[in-house]
Amino acid sequence: MDDGKIITRRRWMQGSAGAALAAGIGMPAISYGQSDVIRIGHLTPITGFLGPLGEYAQMGVKLAAEEVNAAGGVLGRKVELVLEDSVNPQTGSAKAERLIARDRVAMIIGEISSATALAIGQVANRTKTVFINTGANSDALRGPSCNPYMFHIEAANSMMVMAVGEYLKNEKMIQGKKWYSLTADYAFGHDLFKVAKKFVSDNGGQFVGQDLVPTDATDFSPYLLKIRQARPDVVASNLAGNQITNFIKQYAEYGLTFPITGFGFDTAVAWGAGKGNFAGIWPLIWHHLVESPSSKKYVEAFSKKYGKLPENQSWGDYNSLKLVAQSFNELKSADPQKLAEHLRKGAKFDVLKGREGYFRAYDNQMVQEMYAVRAKDQAKMKDQWDIYDPLGTIPAAGGDLEVLAPPKDGECKMPA
Amino acid sequence: MELIFLVEQVLNGLLVGAYYLLIALGLSLIFSLGGIVNLAHGGFYAVGAYLAVALAPRIGFAGAFVASPILVALLGVAVERLIFRRFYRSDPILSLLLTFGLAMVIEQSLRMLFGAAPLPFSIPAELRGQVFLGDFIYPRYRLMILAVALGAVAATWFLVYRTAFGRVVRAGVQNPEMVGALGISLQPYMTAVSALGIGLAGLAGVLLAPISGVHPAMGAEILTAAFVVVVIGGLGSFWGVVAAAALVGVVRGLTIFFFPPAGEASMYLLMALVLLVRPRGLLGERIEKFE
């Protein structure tokens, strides 16, 4: 017993000497060392048309912080979240600067808007702070705008398109079919439409209509009439946030029966549509029906804490904090430089899926499984949450995960 | 073929006009009779929608359709007594700032009470379905909205222009001192006007909840459109609002037919054109107070 104690003490001495050494060398580490908590910045839109999703993001990250602290925290310290509403690109980047300079956060998690994520990513790169993007889909963030400090746990638009595209091919909805698309008229929508159109054309489909919809549109009836006149085989949504809720509600109101699909999707906006309105096949980065032990545990913990089910946005922010805490503990350091290197070296993480995910060094995109779901028959829905059935996992078991990742077309040039 | 599609958009635009009319009518009423630019109008619209979602499972959609506007109108009474009353004679900028703040308080309260995610709500089963006239399609629910909007316009018009109540209110707008000298206290009248205008916002909220997302920022979404309709119609003009709502609906529909990205911008362009040609709006009267 005595021996055991001595060794423990010796180990402890070694550990603290190491920590002191690290504190002496790394300048930023001094400030971390002085605090008894480790601060993580969380920045995402809470108001505006992405606000509903931002709320789920906050719920996810708060749950993760609770679990991390209950398990002993990070490097023996408690995690403290600094939560902010990112509002828009200007405010978002100003707040990111403040989180880093004033609150001395170890890293930043969050964002949903691609435009704001770009602004925060630039601050992250300039200040050499790790930023994990949990909700912005634009491929440009993984292409020309990529940088070594911006990581993406969220899927790129092209990944969403390929995930649902596989099922659309299986259902014979592309080859020789006429498509009509509605696209959110801003950076995200344009980017999504570009990759969706390429996918559909490459697979033998053809667009008979492609309308841009302003983000402040609440009445979709003129668009619905145009769709009815064009008589397409498939109606595709590249809409965003509350637009999707309004669109599926009014699509049902006008009684249109052309099959619906979409390339961008969040479960929260479909839950918000109400009975008898949701239809179609949609892609998801994660949903609450995913069959994996860690996923089931997460669904249970989330439902217990908040009284409702988690959805894809809460998934991203929850996992980001969990994997950062795990990395800091493994590295025995909260140094941003080391964290960035660790993530880029392909460390694998349990992200509540059948297979582990990892960030690839080319563009810092997390390579991972994706899913597609199909709207349930109204008569078979048990409650307001029970709106879709899982269609399966892409790629299928045994397949190379990287087939889903955006093409390595050389657009992303990371400084060595 | 092209022509029939155009006609379809025009007729649908008139239907959409009912949608704009519902959200603009109460705003116009409070402005023309009380001189208050109520930026919280969208907030009351959202409260109406949330009440519908909360009440419908208990008393049915029909019950919520009656109860929700009445509850919102009662809220209007409180708002008039506590807030509007102090600002009838002051600089409009004060009521503008105040109602702007009120709008934010309402939105944030809804967010704290119900969460930011949209709440599920649908058209009741008995009002679902479409009416087909030849190749034209009209959802039954929108036809009902049209009927309610026209009913609201008729009732409001009758109240303001054909009753003793309306005469006192209109006299109060022109010359409050003279009304006071005649021994009539204006205060209860103005309370009633605010209750009516805000209640109409609540009515719009109930009616639109089944066909648009019910979320805390839904009021902010429709407020600008409501203002555009009131400005095009002419500040203080009753029939101007009706004409402007129909016009905005049709112009928006045609714009989306030819050039969809400008769908929402079309109403602002229309407003700019109308103001260039006729600065007081389509049917606006000259009211010295506002010039």
Q: A112, A221, A302: best mutation site toward chain B, by most B Cβ within 10 Å?
A: A221
Measured between beta carbons, the chain B residues lying within 8 angstroms of A52 are: 116-118, 215
Of the candidates A51, A213, A275, which has its C-beta nearest B120's C-beta?
A275
- What pLDDT, on the 0 to 100 scale, is given for residue B153? 93
Give which of A353, A278, A283 is closest to A318, Cα–Cα. A353
How many CB atoms neighbour CB B126 within 10 A?
A: 9
Mean predicted confidence (pLDDT) in B199-221? 94
Here the contacts of A126-131 (C-beta below 8 Å, separation 24 or greater) are: A127/A97, A127/A100, A128/A336, A128/A337, A128/A340, A129/A100, A129/A105, A129/A336, A130/A324, A130/A336, A130/A339, A130/A340, A130/A343, A131/A96, A131/A107
Nearest residue of B to residue A210 by CA position? B260
List the 227-266 stretch of A: residues with Cβ below 8 A of B.
228-229, 242, 245-246, 249-250, 252-255
- What pLDDT, on the 0 to 100 scale, is given for residue B17? 92
Give the DSSP H/E element, type plus range, for residue A374.
Answer: strand A370-375
> DSSP state, A183?
E
Measured between beta carbons, the chain A residues lying within 8 angstroms of B13 are: 222
- What pLDDT, on the 0 to 100 scale, is given for residue B19? 85
Q: Are residues B142 and A54, on separate chains, in Cβ contact within 8 Å? A: no
Measured between beta carbons, the chain A residues lying within 8 angstroms of B216 are: 51
Number of structural domains, chain B? Answer: 1
Nearest residue of A to residue B128 by CA position? A253
Of the candidates B117, B210, B265, which has its C-beta nearest A52's C-beta?
B117
Strand partners, A209: A180
List the 284-303 stretch of A: residues with Cβ below 8 A of B.
none
- Provide the pLDDT confidence category of residue B92 given band limits of 50, 70 and 90: confident
Alpha-carbon gap, residue B60 to A305, rounded angstroms? 31
Alpha-carbon gap, residue B201 to A347, rounded angstroms? 55
Alpha-carbon gap, residue B55 to B48, rounded angstroms? 10
A-B contacts (CB, under 8 Å): 136
* pLDDT tens figures, B171-192: 888 888 899 999 999 899 999 9
How many CB atoms neighbour CB A164 within 10 A?
A: 29
- What pLDDT, on the 0 to 100 scale, is given for residue B33? 80
Measured between beta carbons, the chain A residues lying within 8 angstroms of B15 are: 221
- Provide the pLDDT confidence category of residue B285 given band limits of 50, 70 and 90: confident
Nearest residue of B to residue A59 by CA position? B115
- Provide the pLDDT confidence category of residue B286 given band limits of 50, 70 and 90: low
- Provide the pLDDT confidence category of residue B205 given band limits of 50, 70 and 90: very high
Give the DSSP H/E element, type plus range, for residue A38.
Answer: strand A37-44
Give which of A92, A76, A94, A97 is closest to A32, Cα–Cα. A76
Q: B20, B107, B222, B256: best mutation site toward chain A, by most A Cβ within 10 Å?
A: B256
Measured between beta carbons, the chain B residues lying within 8 angstroms of A240 are: none
Annotate B85-105 with DSSP letters as a single string: GGGSSS-HHHHHHHHHHHHHH
Q: Are residues B9 and A225, on separate chains, in Cβ contact within 8 Å? A: yes
Q: Are residues B261 and A212, on separate chains, in Cβ contact within 8 Å? A: yes
Measured between beta carbons, the chain A residues lying within 8 angstroms of B263 are: 213-214, 217, 222
Place of tokens 């190749």: B135
Listed as ranges, residues in chain A with pLDDT below 70 are: 1-35, 416
Q: Are residues B123 and A253, on separate chains, in Cβ contact within 8 Å? A: yes
Of the candidates B9, B111, B141, which has its C-beta nearest A222's C-beta?
B9
CA B185 to chain CA centroid, Å, is 28
Q: Are residues B260 and A253, on separate chains, in Cβ contact within 8 Å? A: no
Interface confidence, given as ipTM, is 0.93
Task: Report which residue type is found at A153.
Answer: I
* pLDDT tens figures, B26-57: 999 888 887 888 999 999 999 999 999 999 99
Q: Are residues A214 and B117, on separate chains, in Cβ contact within 8 Å? A: no
Measured between beta carbons, the chain A residues lying within 8 angstroms of B120 are: 271-275, 384
- What pLDDT, on the 0 to 100 scale, is given for residue B211? 94
Give the DSSP H/E element, type plus range, for residue A250.
Answer: helix A242-253
Q: Is it the case that residue B148 has pLDDT exceeding 70?
A: yes
Cβ burial of A99 (10 Å; 0-12, 13-18, 19+) is: buried
Nearest residue of B to residue A383 by CA position? B120
Distance from CA of B216 to the nearest CA of A (A): 9
- What pLDDT, on the 0 to 100 scale, is given for residue A22? 45
Angle of helix B140-162 versus helix B238-258 axis, rounded to 10: 150
Q: A186, A249, A305, A313: best mutation site toward chain B, by most B Cβ within 10 Å?
A: A249
Catalogue all structural domains in chain A, each as residue range(s) with its CATH number. Answer: 35-155+290-367 (3.40.50.2300), 158-284+370-403 (3.40.50.2300)
CA B118 to chain CA centroid, Å, is 22
Nearest residue of A to residue B224 by CA position? A216
Q: Are residues A214 and B8, on separate chains, in Cβ contact within 8 Å? A: no
Of the candidates B130, B214, B253, which has its C-beta nearest A255's C-beta?
B130
- What pLDDT, on the 0 to 100 scale, is given for residue A398? 84
Q: Are residues A249 and B265, on separate chains, in Cβ contact within 8 Å? A: no
Distance from CA of B135 to the nearest CA of A (A): 10
- What pLDDT, on the 0 to 100 scale, is given for residue B133? 86
Q: Are residues A274 and B120, on separate chains, in Cβ contact within 8 Å? A: yes
Nearest residue of B to residue A275 by CA position? B122
Distance from CA of B256 to the nearest CA of A (A): 6
* pLDDT tens figures, A175-216: 999 999 999 998 889 999 999 999 999 999 999 999 999 988
HSE (CB half, 13 Å, CA atoms) of A162?
A: 19
Of the candidates B111, B120, B141, which has its C-beta nearest A384's C-beta?
B120
Domain containing B113 equals 2-290
User: Any chain B CB within 8 A of the CB of A185?
Assistant: yes
> DSSP state, A359?
E
- What pLDDT, on the 0 to 100 scale, is given for residue A26? 41
Distance from CA of B196 to the nearest CA of A (A): 25
Place of tokens 């349930």: A376
